[in-house]
Amino acid sequence: METRFSVPQGSFELTRPGVGPRSPLRAWDSADEYVLGELPEQVGLRRLILNDAYGALAVALAGEETISISDSFVALTTARSNLALNRRDEPTMGSSVQPMPENLDLVIIKVPRTLSLLEHQLHQIRVVCSPTTTIIGAGMTKNIHSSTVDLFERIIGSTTTSLAKKKARLIHPVFDPDLSPGDSPWPQEAELNVGPPHGEVRVSVQAGVFAGPKLDLGARVLLGALPSKAERVLDLGCGNGIIGTVLARQLGCHVTFLDESYLAIEAARSTFALQNLDSTADFVVGDAGAGLQSEQFDLVLNNPPFHESNAITDATAWRMFIEARRVLVAGGELRVVANRHLGYHVKLKRVFGNCETVSSTRKFVVLSCVAGGS
């Protein structure tokens, strides 16, 4: 892995979790290099960075007046370790569920994967910016579409884009004080039909959270193959909380909802509350289950992610399986849904020593492993 990040602000060492020395993946992209190379000199120092993936922007721009906000627990944690590695003062770090800071001179917004999160964030920054704030969007050309630029036009003001450089592009909106784009349309609620025997479930839909106002196909398959007994359950990578909520509704069990996305945890909290259940729940922002006490659940439910940042990888799924094994009591079960072609039963067998198929469709399998089994 290439680790030396050289930009006009300095030369830094940047690492990315779970990436081996021979991997082509790096902790930054050419949009980071592009935006740091083009920063206007005359802007003041109160800077907001949104959606920095592994801390490249925070490390380069570290200083008292820099604030870095992300929806990703993993991104914030990695940024902190890269700041420490480079002995840089830690900027103020915040999550996407905190209010946006005010009196900003500069906002750099790395274009997020989903348009809904971009839309929500542009509404949030519009409220705290003024015509004196320089706002720059940065992203890889493959993630910048006319719909992306339209959002900047509609919410911030007249927008131009730069020429592409190393497959990256910058977006330059000019703050228009006379625009009235209204409030952010997020969060919303949606009624999902999750199929028999569960029927309709009302869910909270937060900007950028997995599956949006729809039910993921894999989640649907797992919901059709839930166990009939459990008391202490972990919904690992819970997204909007649909899986744990349906189980709590059915069994009255205690569910801990865990995700690395702050907005996902907000969505799960609201989804659970919308059901008015008597059972209780915990809501945890964390990385794959690290930090949870060992041997405390009798069931872990998991529809694992297949990408980290913009890279397709099973590294997170692996870590989730290992953590699931650790947090289960002896005899407890991990139930996973996955695309059949991913061959996860091999990995699960390696972690648990056993793996059974509970149900399957043409595309998905639901796999079950027992902790302490053989």
Ligand X SMILES: C[S@@+](CC[C@H](N)C(=O)[O-])C[C@H]1O[C@@H](n2cnc3c(N)ncnc32)[C@H](O)[C@@H]1O
Contact status: 208 vs ligand X (CB under 6 A): no
User: Could you say which residues in the range 296-355 bind ligand X, by CB under 6 A?
Assistant: 303, 305, 316
Contact status: 237 vs ligand X (CB under 6 A): yes
Contact status: 271 vs ligand X (CB under 6 A): no
Q: Which is nearer to ligand X, 96 or 261 (CB)?
A: 261
Q: Give me the 72-111 binding string for ligand X, x by CB under 6 A, dash otherwise.
A: --x-------------------------------------
Contact status: 268 vs ligand X (CB under 6 A): no
Contact status: 194 vs ligand X (CB under 6 A): no
User: Which one of 129-137, 146-154, 209-217, 269-277 is the stretch in contact with ligand X (CB under 6 A)?
Assistant: 209-217
Q: Looking at this protein, which amino acid is placed at residue 63?
A: G
Between CA 17 and CA 269, with CA 301 as vertex, the angle to 5 degrees is 85
> Least distance to ligand X from the beta carbon of 47, Å?
27
> Least distance to ligand X from the beta carbon of 276, Å?
21
> Least distance to ligand X from the beta carbon of 359, Å?
16
Long-range contacts of 6-10 (CB under 8 A, 24+ apart): 7/32, 7/33, 7/36, 7/37, 7/60, 8/36, 8/37, 8/39, 9/36, 9/60, 9/61, 10/60
Contact status: 288 vs ligand X (CB under 6 A): yes
Burial of 330 (0-12, 13-18, 19+ CB in 10 A): exposed
> Least distance to ligand X from the beta carbon of 267, Å?
9
Contact status: 210 vs ligand X (CB under 6 A): yes
Report the residue from 50, 203, 219, 371 that binds ligand X according to the rule CB under 6 A.
219
φ/ψ of 245, rounded to 5, equals -65, -45
User: Which one of 122-130, 226-234, 257-265, 357-365 is the stretch in contact with ligand X (CB under 6 A)?
Assistant: 257-265
Q: Please check whether residue 140 is in contact with residue 8, taking contact to mean a CB–CB distance below 8 angstroms.
A: no
Count, residues near ligand X per rule CB under 6 A: 20
Per-residue 3-state assignment (H helix, E strand, C coil) for 109-145: EECCCCHHHHHHHHHHHHHHCCCCCEEEEEEEHHHCC
φ/ψ of 357, rounded to 5, equals -90, 125
Taking CA atoms, 319 is separated from 1, 3, 69, 254, in Å, by 20, 23, 25, 23
Report the residue from 48, 243, 292, 299 that binds ligand X according to the rule CB under 6 A.
243
- Measured N-to-C along each axis, helices 344-352 and 315-327 cross at an angle, to the nearest 10 degrees, of 30
Strands 311-312 and 92-95: unpaired
DSSP 8-state class, residue 91 = P
Q: Which is nearer to ligand X, 80 or 154 (CB)?
A: 80
User: Which one of 32-40, 192-200, 249-257, 260-268 is the stretch in contact with ligand X (CB under 6 A)?
Assistant: 260-268
Q: Looking at this protein, which amino acid is placed at residue 222?
A: L
User: Which one of 46-54, 57-65, 118-126, 252-260 is the stretch in contact with ligand X (CB under 6 A)?
Assistant: 252-260
Interface with ligand X (CB under 6 A): 74, 210-211, 216, 219, 237-239, 242-243, 258-261, 264, 287-288, 303, 305, 316
